[in-house]
Amino acid sequence: MIDRLVREVWLPIVERHDEKAQVAGDLFAATCERMIDRYDPEHPDGPPEKPLELRAAEASSDYELAVLELESIGPDDFESEADVADLAGSAFEVLDEYEDESASSDMKSLLKDFLERYSLRYYVDSSGRLRGTLPGLTTSGYFELRKICVTDAALRSLLEDFEQALAEAIDDPSEVRVKTTLSKLFMLIEGVASKHPDIRTEDERTLGRLCQRIGSWPHSSVQHSAEALYRFACDYPGIRHAGNPTNAKRPVTATDLVAICSILTGFTSYFVPEFPEGVGLRMHRRTRLTAEAHVGAETRW
């Protein structure tokens, strides 16, 4: 996605700037500050054949070279998504040095359109920085859940069952498919929670019991809310058990699917000790993701 950012946002601004050669060179220099320098002095023939510092210096005085360097940038040139997101904001600092309010305004407009076009989980603040969004937090949380599951055969099977059921429910949100999807999700979350180090071999592996054993809750009310969801799944007819038909107020619908899936997957951060700070808040700081875990997840910078 960084390559598209360069083509669709940066280069249009550069090409119509009065000092385009300097701007292009400065943008590449700012980019180099966050890129991985893959130059190996023990293998000077490359690739790459030159260290980033030298490439930036050469591009600073050669417009065509600066453009070629910018066009060659890809996601593998960066350690993390945070570096790319910060870089998008640094472009405004480059333009600010030229005191060109028109160019800065145009770039902000292009960047906003870019984020909307590709459904990226950021917004542009008044300073031109990219900021995370609530949809981004929830997306990142589910992405982390997938990363955990693909490394464990049993969890991966549960994940695939859930995602298959979810895809079918999205296509046809009938009551039967909604119930099936919720059932598969509760199984998946139980599987994830059962891996928590607080869980002993002899412990019952239902979500309700797991919630009682896990000690990561900030308050008993949060724990009880997770347990209440489990009681709903057990008591509502056809999700986990026959349940109690007299307690069902209406058929479950797509509305319930969205709400319960969002809430239940949100509890993952309590069930997985690797997420001590809250997985969603780390969406902006994590290193690059494995291709296997990334498939079908989120747009990559």
Q: How far apart are CA 31 and CA 6, in angstroms?
A: 11
Residues 170 and 29 in one domain: no
Q: Residue 301: which pLDDT band, with cuts at 50, 70 and 90?
A: low
Least confident segment among 120-124, 178-182, 272-276: 272-276
Q: Which of 132, 147, 181 represents a domain boundary (last residue)?
A: 132
Mean pLDDT of the chain: 87
Residues 70 and 120 in one domain: yes
Residue 299 lies in a domain: no
pLDDT tens, position by position, 230-243: 999 999 999 999 99
Q: How far apart are CA 169 and CA 253, in angstroms?
A: 10
**What is the number of other CB atoms lying within 10 angstroms of the CB of residue 251?**
13
Rg (CA), the chain: 24
Residue 113 lies in a domain: yes
Residue 286 lies in a domain: yes
Residues 33 and 152 in one domain: no
Residue 96 lies in a domain: yes
Check residue 135 and give its pLDDT. Answer: 83
Q: Which of 132, 156, 188 represents a domain boundary (last residue)?
A: 132
Residues 64 and 156 in one domain: no
Specify whether the CB–CB gap between 268 and 216 falls below 8 A.
Answer: no
Residues 142 and 290 in one domain: yes
The tokens for 15 are: 């090409």
What is residue 89's three-state secondary structure? helix
Closest C-alpha to 162, from 147, 183, 176: 183
Q: How far apart are CA 152 and CA 191, in angstroms?
A: 10
Average of pLDDT values for 130-147? Answer: 85
Query: According to DSSP H, which parts of 72-100 are helical?
Result: 81-96
Residue 255 lies in a domain: yes
pLDDT > 50? residue 8: yes
C-alpha triplet 80, 82, 86: angle, nearest 5°: 130
Residue 300 lies in a domain: no
Residues 68 and 51 in one domain: yes
Of residues 199 and 276, more confidence is placed in 199
Supply the pTM of this predicted model.
Answer: 0.71
Residues 100 and 160 in one domain: no
Residues 146 and 33 in one domain: no
Q: How far apart are CA 101 and CA 124, in angstroms?
A: 16
pLDDT > 70? residue 279: no
pLDDT tens, position by position, 114-131: 999 988 888 999 888 888
Residue 282 lies in a domain: yes
Total tally of structural domains belonging to the chain: 2
Residues 60 and 193 in one domain: no
Residues 43 and 175 in one domain: no
Q: What is the DSSP string of 94-145?
A: HHHTTT-HHHHHHHHHHHHHHHHHTT-SEEE-TTS-EEE-HHHHHHHHHHHH
Check residue 140 and give its pLDDT. Answer: 79
Residues 126 and 159 in one domain: no
Check residue 79 and give its pLDDT. Answer: 87
Contacts from 237-244 at CB under 8 Å and sequence distance 24+? 238/176, 238/179, 239/179, 239/182, 239/183, 239/186, 240/183, 240/186
Residues 170 and 278 in one domain: yes
Q: Which of 87, 110, 132 represents a domain boundary (last residue)?
A: 132
pLDDT tens, position by position, 30-72: 999 999 998 888 877 767 889 999 999 999 999 999 999 999 9
Which residue range forms the structural domain that includes residue 99? 2-132
Residue 301 lies in a domain: no
The two counts, helices (H) then strands (E), for the chain are: 15, 2
